Amino acid sequence: MTELNLTSKITIKDKMSKTELLQYTHNADIGISIDKDTNLNYHFSLPNKIFDYIQAGVPVLASNLPEIKNLITRYNIGCVIDNHDPKHIAEKINQMLSSPEYTIWKENTVKANSENSWEHEKKHLSDILETLIKN
């Protein structure tokens, strides 16, 4: 980082507790999840950190994986990358930070959070279980 003159822009933190991590997440400008599509597990993944970003009201920049893209698109909460080239990712970050949609993405995380919470999902699970019991 020193040779790229990024020490004032990037801080790498050691492992920390979930509580401490969430404090950092709430203060982030963008949440990033850039897993590569190397196997079926990653291809269909929906990492917990995406939901941490949503709960924190942070727009998301993520890999173009089906479930992640579906969530980002459905709620309009950020962007997906086209590839993993560092220059491309940097361009996407800069585009997001200067986008007029940035405020909209932040606002949309509220709806995404309310519709993707345990309180909301347990109703669906109850309905499924009720249907199974009746049949």
At residue 120 the predicted structure's pLDDT band, cuts being 50, 70 and 90, is confident
Range of the domain at 92: 18-134
1 falls within a domain: no
pLDDT at 88 over 90: yes
Q: Transcribe 1-64 into DSSP letters.
A: -TTTT-TTT--PPPP--HHHHHHHHHT-S-EEE-----SHHHHT---HHHHHHHHHT--EEE--
In a domain, 4, yes or no: no
Residue 73, in any domain of the structure: yes
Quote the DSSP letter at residue 82.
Answer: S
- What's the number of domains the chain is made of? 1
Task: Report in angstroms the alpha-carbon separations of 95 from 44, 88, 116.
Answer: 26, 10, 27
- pTM to 2 decimals? 0.84
Specify if 125 maps to a domain. Answer: yes
What distance in Å separates the CA atoms of residue 35 and residue 117, rounded to the nearest whole number? 23
Using CA atoms, how far residue 125 sits from 19, 67, 128, in Å, is: 28, 20, 5
Tell me the CATH number at 29: 3.40.50.2000
Token pair listed for 1? 């980082």
pLDDT tens, position by position, 19-53: 999 999 999 999 999 999 999 999 999 999 999 99
| Contact yes or no for 59/102 (Cβ under 8 A) | yes
Q: Is residue 95 part of a domain?
A: yes
Statement: residue 2 has pLDDT above 80: no
